[in-house]
Amino acid sequence: MPAEIKGLNEECGVFGVFGAPEANHLAYLGLHTLQHRGQEGAGIVTTDGTEMYQYRNRGLLAQVFKNQADLDHLVGEAAIGHVRYATAGRHTLANVQPFLFRFHDGDVALAHNGNLTNAVTLRRQLEDEGAVFQSDSDSEILIHLIRKHIKQGFIPALKQSLNELHGGFAFLLLQKDRLIAALDPNGFRPLVLGQLPDGAYVVASESCALDIVGAKLLRDVQPGELLVIDRDGLHEDHFTTKTQLAICSMEYVYFARPDSIIHGVTVHNARKRMGKLLAAEHPVDADIVIGVPNSSLSAASGYAEGAGLPYEMGLIKSQYVARSFIQPTQALRERAVALKLSAVRGVVAGKKVAVVDDSIVRGTTSQKLVKMLRDAGAKEVHLLIASPPFRFPCFYGIDVSTRAELMAAHYSIEEMRQQIGADSLHFLSVANLIKAIDLKDTGNAPYQGLTVAYFNGDYPTPLYDYEASYLASFNAQEQRMRKEQLKS
Amino acid sequence: MPAEIKGLNEECGVFGVFGAPEANHLAYLGLHTLQHRGQEGAGIVTTDGTEMYQYRNRGLLAQVFKNQADLDHLVGEAAIGHVRYATAGRHTLANVQPFLFRFHDGDVALAHNGNLTNAVTLRRQLEDEGAVFQSDSDSEILIHLIRKHIKQGFIPALKQSLNELHGGFAFLLLQKDRLIAALDPNGFRPLVLGQLPDGAYVVASESCALDIVGAKLLRDVQPGELLVIDRDGLHEDHFTTKTQLAICSMEYVYFARPDSIIHGVTVHNARKRMGKLLAAEHPVDADIVIGVPNSSLSAASGYAEGAGLPYEMGLIKSQYVARSFIQPTQALRERAVALKLSAVRGVVAGKKVAVVDDSIVRGTTSQKLVKMLRDAGAKEVHLLIASPPFRFPCFYGIDVSTRAELMAAHYSIEEMRQQIGADSLHFLSVANLIKAIDLKDTGNAPYQGLTVAYFNGDYPTPLYDYEASYLASFNAQEQRMRKEQLKS
Amino acid sequence: MPAEIKGLNEECGVFGVFGAPEANHLAYLGLHTLQHRGQEGAGIVTTDGTEMYQYRNRGLLAQVFKNQADLDHLVGEAAIGHVRYATAGRHTLANVQPFLFRFHDGDVALAHNGNLTNAVTLRRQLEDEGAVFQSDSDSEILIHLIRKHIKQGFIPALKQSLNELHGGFAFLLLQKDRLIAALDPNGFRPLVLGQLPDGAYVVASESCALDIVGAKLLRDVQPGELLVIDRDGLHEDHFTTKTQLAICSMEYVYFARPDSIIHGVTVHNARKRMGKLLAAEHPVDADIVIGVPNSSLSAASGYAEGAGLPYEMGLIKSQYVARSFIQPTQALRERAVALKLSAVRGVVAGKKVAVVDDSIVRGTTSQKLVKMLRDAGAKEVHLLIASPPFRFPCFYGIDVSTRAELMAAHYSIEEMRQQIGADSLHFLSVANLIKAIDLKDTGNAPYQGLTVAYFNGDYPTPLYDYEASYLASFNAQEQRMRKEQLKS
Amino acid sequence: MPAEIKGLNEECGVFGVFGAPEANHLAYLGLHTLQHRGQEGAGIVTTDGTEMYQYRNRGLLAQVFKNQADLDHLVGEAAIGHVRYATAGRHTLANVQPFLFRFHDGDVALAHNGNLTNAVTLRRQLEDEGAVFQSDSDSEILIHLIRKHIKQGFIPALKQSLNELHGGFAFLLLQKDRLIAALDPNGFRPLVLGQLPDGAYVVASESCALDIVGAKLLRDVQPGELLVIDRDGLHEDHFTTKTQLAICSMEYVYFARPDSIIHGVTVHNARKRMGKLLAAEHPVDADIVIGVPNSSLSAASGYAEGAGLPYEMGLIKSQYVARSFIQPTQALRERAVALKLSAVRGVVAGKKVAVVDDSIVRGTTSQKLVKMLRDAGAKEVHLLIASPPFRFPCFYGIDVSTRAELMAAHYSIEEMRQQIGADSLHFLSVANLIKAIDLKDTGNAPYQGLTVAYFNGDYPTPLYDYEASYLASFNAQEQRMRKEQLKS
């Protein structure tokens, strides 16, 4: 459903634990808190040191593990798990992770968050050399590369393989005797390391997954790092030293849970600051401030506080929207929008309403939102966006890889306002976004360790397989400019 | 899950429509917005004027109607639907409503929200006279009474039967040629009348169900009213004139959706006023104000506004908690609380926190809540309850029919505070609760049309079957006092 | 599927046990062997002396009890169970038995095999007196009658009620402290009494259900009998003495399992004798004899033996035909017949084939059968039916209650042969059918304790609610004759 | 269930069609008739010339295709399908066929019946060269070999790969523009070619699958053949000429459907001849002859005919035994055997019974059978086996790959008789088995084109990966003898 409401989709969450009793239940709890990062499939692989056990299926975690027995048979003290949003690859079971590969010299399980930018090239090469892929997923490429280099030994083969990959990736690998975590040289996706009271290590996409299992947040995994966790504890290694943090700014704006702490910053606090800075940058004449639940509530309360206006619940989100919801007939389809989100007439009627949302992708949701508020009697609707206009695609793990669908790529803010039907439309500036997130000590000018390419086209890496189609999406004049902007 | 979090459960929601194409889809949409009133079963009965069609099952609406075909075969232009929370009666399919009774002289379907106070007596009498009940549900009694008097004709038999019932009831009945709505003489449960643009009438437990189908709210159904809707339109009738509005105040405090309008009052607004009055009545020395999602967010923002403190998101509620969630092992059970609700460390750590909740029933949730906030680093935790201490059971449709489980029935506020572990604990007064809800023109002193018996024991009706056990729950001295307080 | 192949359907099987540990599992095993008597629903009610437990659903027994837990929660040492074929009544869960009725003065469960001939009249009367039926099933009438007379005490009320019923019925009732079995005055349906090694009593529709639970066959329940089994053992009683055995001859011809023993006769042996007598009555010039699996194999081997011809497997029946089988498209529908039954080309090609079937109802199956054999190369196809032409409906529990669908009611044997496309068509005579079944000592001339009304229209009882429509199905001249033939 | 009853399991059935509308439905019908060859998984892959579509799951065909939609989305005019019995490989979805492999230069689907004898060696080699397997199934090896040689082009690569495989295999491959069938050089498993009235070709494991779709049996696929079917029709090719027919004799004894025609012989007829020759070889003093349903009924009727004894139905098999059957408690487990198979007391009581079975594997079933008959009153029980003692494992596709479980490998016939508890025990001789099957013109002395290694240890090929463990199962003296007997 978030997909429909927002048009932005994360590509998965990962969770790993080594050396803890009930690793299966820990993985289950951890994945549950990461469910917002992917709702189309889930799975867990565990090992007891002798065998590896896998269970995965399409759907939400609670749908996948409907039967206690399916979780219980995942025995052992080490586990990796995955929740999936299907970007690349068909929506089939074969694409649901963790993958489990069985070899005569030892099984390997794999979970991946991110998107590779040279996947097509690598897959074609590997197939021509004899490889047989079992999924459409980019994630499988790593294992084929490892096998290609396996005579060097597993860890050297893994390091070499990671250096052949480009793009955004946070990988967890599980073998019978160890858990391995690896993060791409730019650290595009979040990945944190934690520790349970009994000393066992946990690795997860977000710190909220550490909280739920009772693990203490130790630190963020660093770009280029390779962490190996086995019976002897944690081994800190790296596969490359050519690194530069460029974490996805949209994690702070929209994806991550408000209680997660990423590179030292609590997401809710960053969002509230976005709202406050937005109020300073774009004050509006309104009676009340409302947020779009749930992702924009932090920013909205920040805006209200900054603007000195009352913060109200002008929109409510149903807790009961199911995936399996029966689609109404054509005549009623319009109505069904309100199943997820509805306006509170008693709050907005007769008011000048400042509604705060986190971002605009396709714009269709904003349009419905404004209409819904006007239908409920709002006198004026001012739309305040707590991030800059989303103009450029992402190739590192957000499901927006073409410009075609991006409203801000094709229209001016005034044109957008007209189409959306708001009385005014305002965005946070890139500078204020960076200021609101406020990463410390990243030593990465000019964006302080963030990727803001979606707003300004300044990608921190070459685009590889995507470069041609990216450039083709511009007119001739723009192409030249954008080509120069790209790294190579 | 709300059951576990709160310990308060509503007894069902009803929805009816007559004369509209796609009555099945309208009922489905309407019931969806009423899902918060009952999650243990759902069903719809429709009629095309010739036949009546029923589908019902245990579970959430979207689980019940998993297959499009099950909804599609409910043809016709009239429908009633029901979402059930199982208080009285076993949790079996036979108890899921609407009931459909087939007679040689015409079928009748029935949906009920409320609780009868003379059900045991009536059922025993009817069985001794030959009646065979098909469910454990009180709701079935009405139909047996009607059949007992059927020689008078259906409507006279219905009126006589309604006068033989005591307690809280909002009934919808469907026959092949009409839809009937009836509300008890005190109007304990909410029931509203609306109209679709094409003139068809809709009746529902809350106005949010009118909004979703595009119906305009006409008015609340009045105590003692009997509405008959057929091809000729709306016929306004009543089965008694001895009426006095005494709607359940907990609908405003906790049960109803914030966007619903009950007797002219928007629920969110009432809650915000509760928060504001609570701030005036009980100011605390705090850095931030947080609410318990989702039911207490309105009151919390009211408190923050009233107290001039920052309103923060210190607790977050997962959107993905499923009924079928696999229970963690004993060792991890403690953790699982946080699956539904978790504290935002980055917000509360080091802060003096004022946390606003709507009510305390058993107190166990409050205890966990305070612990959770302290574990996340809160320096002080002040618990503010936006309603008075819940000391007396409800016999009109809330699932709290004995004093045994009510914390406030057995402990002083200071004792409660100690058990809960808060730095301070404060409740809204009854007078301020009535002032916050602010019903107009009900002509019902002293409580302005509300039932506040849960807080002061002043029940607006005799207790019938429940009186003996209610009195027995007090010591001898209290018994005398409470007996005098009861109507008879 | 049998329904489609044959067009004859039994109306249920019943099983009861009292005083045995694991009554639930015994009922499950027993019902499994009675599955051929009904495939549209199944259920079990048990009691531990304090509570009664019910589980039932639509579908085959193994589909109903998919989860071990559903069987396990049916605790106690007494049980009744039911497998249902839906004749009367809609195919809804409400109609699946055993029914469980809860009263303040004691619960009653009910399972029924048979068909009442005055159900419509009784139901109408009862409804006019205030009764509310929960199912469309005739079986429910008994409980309403009992409650009407309940002031007399349960057993007297039951006896009086049984005397108000007409038609065929084998009832099992379960109360917390006893199991009751009752059979109609003509004993239309089979019902046997058995005993487990530890002394506990078992009652079942067929003796094969005694075998599976290890119970010894004691005797058939007699017409008009009322057996009460409680902690003190077996109490033999009766509700009427006006009895005369007239058991359904089709039980021997088609319905019962070949290993069941009914009134002292093993069904397979009776069928084999039917085949032998058919060979004597109608010898044909054939190379081989084949049977239609599975119900006609006994008769076919009898025919082969009688005729001195080789018995071959010329038709085979798939073991894997599922209820949920996906229907092929129109173009392939013809083919799908062969999914259930297919001809063995290597056996029949070039041969003169005598194919033995047990009966002809609508004739469509026979037509397909003959075509199938010819397509597989049979030179000649002689169809031999091991029972007389089925000309008259049954009102006592077989699902053929109108003449409209009966081929033999409308056509001569020669006309039937032509439509079916066989080279010859022969039926067993009524006299030989009676001789083949060979009931001993029933003292019931002229049919030796059998109902053969399907073949000659001589019904052993008045037809009550069915008489008018039965007579209306004949032309004027026939009506007079048939009217005279009917009892009144 | 056959697995439990018999202890012998086939390894799958395959079906393919090219150039026919509704290929999905044809595959579904075809696989249904092959369901006896595997009940643990099923799947279909189709192609419309542009895309390939796959659906597969664990369970019976009708369970896999529960929803019409799952079959309907398999569009196109070509299909291959598979029913699986899980011998090698875990019972996971990943092992359910047809496999579908996607490559940048064209997708390939694969279905396999048989067992490779050098799979372990090949897989190890391939993995060391970089291959990543997605299943535990031997069947996947072929595709990795093909990709290894792909630079030669697909068909040359396929031919070379097939020559690198040893053991029994019938492969179907589907590409967007063609269907390919290949059979191992000994033709261990059956595979037939048929043609639909409109000219489209069909390939299937047994001719019964041609019958159901209305295809005419053209001929058996020959050992070493490679058939390619595309828009231009049938291309007959071969991958080797070093061939010698050695089809599994157990196909005739037990596996194949009685109506299938394999190498010109109808299975029922072969079985009946086995029974007749058994009667000649081993006459016994009995009153009646009975068969073990369903596989032994043909042989039993042959025995009865040969011996001039009455053929009776002394054992009946339930039509309703479901996979999901709830296991009874320990106390009742003994009883549950009779759920599948029960003795007909009225037939066998007091009789000297000759019971004919097709084979003895572990002997446990025979033991239960004899006990069951004696419990039902049989005076004597003579067990006649319509095949020779099963002494040696099979490595070509029957699930009996070790000697450990084979009763006849460890005991003399007299010892077996005593353990089984029969009054006498007799087996058909190898010579008479060959005579009964009676393959014509195979030019393959001494066994006339059959594999009878299970009875005499004379394997037609080297055993490769299995040789060491096979020899190790004998004592030292036997080892020498058996080693000499093996090809190399």
Which residue in the set C32, C266, C319 is minimally distant from D347, CB to CB? C266
**What's the Cα-to-Cα distance from D463 to each of A252, B184, C227, D450, rounded to whole Å?**
62, 85, 67, 17
Cis peptide bond upstream of B388, omega within 30: no
Give the residue with greater pLDDT, D99 vs A4.
Answer: D99
Which residue in the set D94, D102, D131 is minimally distant from A147, CB to CB? D131
Which residue in the set D102, D127, D143 is minimally distant from A103, CB to CB? D127
> What pLDDT is recorded for position D2?
29
> What pLDDT is recorded for position C331?
67
Say if residue A479's pLDDT is above 80.
yes
Say if residue B6's pLDDT is above 60.
no
> What pLDDT is recorded for position A88?
46
Say if residue A6's pLDDT is above 50.
no
Most confident among B78-92, B145-159, C439-453 (mean pLDDT): B145-159
C45/chain D closest Cα distance in angstroms? 17
Residue C481 corresponds to which amino acid?
Answer: M
Q: Is D295 annotated as a binding residue?
A: yes
**What's the Cα-to-Cα distance from C416 to each of A219, B142, C389, C420, D242, rounded to whole Å?**
87, 56, 10, 6, 59
Interface subset of D 90-129, CB within 8 angstroms of C: none
Neighboring chain C residues of D212 at a CB cutoff of 8 Å: 335, 338-339, 342
Residues C160-210 have pLDDT tens digits of 999 999 999 999 999 999 999 999 999 999 999 999 999 999 999 999 999
Average pLDDT (A445-473) is 93
Q: Is residue A41 within 8 Å of A60, Cβ to Cβ? A: no
> What pLDDT is recorded for position B4?
32
Say if residue B356's pLDDT is above 60.
yes
Average pLDDT (C438-464) is 89
> What pLDDT is recorded for position B136?
80
Residues C279-326 have pLDDT tens digits of 999 999 999 999 999 889 999 999 999 999 999 999 998 877 655 567
Percent of chain A at pLDDT exceeding 70: 92
Which residue on chain D is closest to C315 by alpha carbon? D259
CA dihedral sign, ordered A412, A416, A418, A422 = negative
> What pLDDT is recorded for position A294?
86
Which residue on chain B is closest to C127 by alpha carbon? B103
Compute the mean pLDDT over every residue in chain D, rounded to the nearest whole number: 91
Angle at C41 between CA C39 and CA C43, to 5 degrees: 125
Q: Is A157 on the interface with D (CB under 8 A)?
A: no
Binding site listing of C: 295, 357-358
d(CA C128, CA C147) in angstroms, rounded, equals 15
> What pLDDT is recorded for position C321?
66
Say if residue D5's pLDDT is above 60.
no
Domain locations in chain C? Answer: 12-243, 266-438
Neighboring chain B residues of A326 at a CB cutoff of 8 Å: 28, 62, 65, 68, 71
Query: B12-243 adopts what CATH topology?
Result: Glutamine Phosphoribosylpyrophosphate, subunit 1, domain 1 (3.60.20)
> What pLDDT is recorded for position C138?
85
> What pLDDT is recorded for position C325?
61
Structure token digits, residue D151: 């630079």
pLDDT-based confidence at residue D194 (cuts at 50, 70, 90): very high
Q: How many residues does chain B have?
A: 488
* Partner-chain contact C102 B136, CB within 8 Å: yes
Interface subset of C 5-44, CB within 8 angstroms of D: 21-22, 25-26, 28-29, 32-33, 35-36, 39
d(CA D285, CA D382) in angstroms, rounded, equals 9
B72/chain C closest Cα distance in angstroms? 17
- How does DSSP assign C73-114, residue by residue? T--SSEEEEEEE--SSS-SSGGGPSSEEE--TT--EEEEEEE
Average pLDDT (A35-46) is 93
Q: Is B423 annotated as a binding residue?
A: no
d(CA A416, CA A360) in angstroms, rounded, equals 10
d(CA D127, CA D144) in angstroms, rounded, equals 10
pLDDT-based confidence at residue A441 (cuts at 50, 70, 90): low
Segment among A214-223, A438-447, D263-272 with least mean pLDDT: A438-447
Token pair 């998919």: residue: C66
Percent of chain D at pLDDT exceeding 90: 80
Which uninterrupted H or E stretch holds D144? helix D141-148
**What's the Cα-to-Cα distance from D326 to each of A276, C61, C82, rounded to whole Å?**
63, 10, 17
Interface subset of D 316-345, CB within 8 angstroms of C: 316, 318-320, 322, 324-329, 331-332, 335-336, 338-339, 342-345
d(CA D82, CA D60) in angstroms, rounded, equals 11
Residues B126-135 have pLDDT tens digits of 999 999 998 8
pLDDT-based confidence at residue A91 (cuts at 50, 70, 90): low
Percent of chain B at pLDDT exceeding 70: 92
Say if residue A8's pLDDT is above 60.
no
Say if residue B324's pLDDT is above 60.
no
> What pLDDT is recorded for position A79?
98
CATH pick for D266-438 out of 3.40.50.11540, 3.40.50.40, 3.40.50.2020, 3.40.228.10: 3.40.50.2020
* Partner-chain contact B259 A345, CB within 8 Å: yes
Segment among B8-12, B427-431, C25-29 with least mean pLDDT: B8-12
Neighboring chain A residues of B22 at a CB cutoff of 8 Å: 328-329, 331-332
Q: Is D232 annotated as a binding residue?
A: no
Residues B200-234 have pLDDT tens digits of 999 999 999 999 999 999 999 999 999 999 999 99
Q: Is residue A323 within 8 Å of A4, Cβ to Cβ? A: no
> What pLDDT is recorded for position C56?
93
Residues D419-450 have pLDDT tens digits of 999 999 999 999 999 999 999 866 666 899 99
Q: Catalogue the active-site residues of C.
A: 12
* A201-204 vs C41-47, strand pairing mode: unpaired
Residues A328-352 have pLDDT tens digits of 666 676 677 677 889 999 999 999 9
For residue C240, the cross-strand partners are none
Neighboring chain A residues of D132 at a CB cutoff of 8 Å: 101, 103, 131-134, 140, 143-144, 147
* Partner-chain contact D131 A127, CB within 8 Å: no
d(CA B46, CA B27) in angstroms, rounded, equals 9
Neighboring chain C residues of D265 at a CB cutoff of 8 Å: 346
Residues B67-108 have pLDDT tens digits of 888 999 999 999 999 998 865 455 677 788 999 999 999 999
Segment among C215-219, C368-372, D135-139 with least mean pLDDT: D135-139
Residues D335-383 have pLDDT tens digits of 776 778 899 999 999 999 999 999 999 898 899 999 999 999 999 999 9
d(CA B227, CA B220) in angstroms, rounded, equals 12
* Partner-chain contact C268 D332, CB within 8 Å: no
C76 Cβ neighbours under 8 A, 6+ residues apart: C23, C24, C46, C47, C48, C49, C51, C53
Residues C31-71 have pLDDT tens digits of 999 999 988 899 999 999 999 999 999 888 988 998 888 99
Structure token digits, residue A403: 């410009």
Q: Is residue A310 within 8 Å of A289, Cβ to Cβ? A: yes
D275/chain A closest Cα distance in angstroms? 47
Which uninterrupted H or E stretch holds A125? helix A119-128
Say if residue D1's pLDDT is above 50.
no
Question: Would you tell me how many other CB atoms lie within 10 Å of the CB of residue B233?
Answer: 12
Say if residue D475's pLDDT is above 80.
yes
Q: Does the structure's ipTM exceed the value 0.90?
A: no
Q: Is residue C59 within 8 Å of C105, Cβ to Cβ? A: no
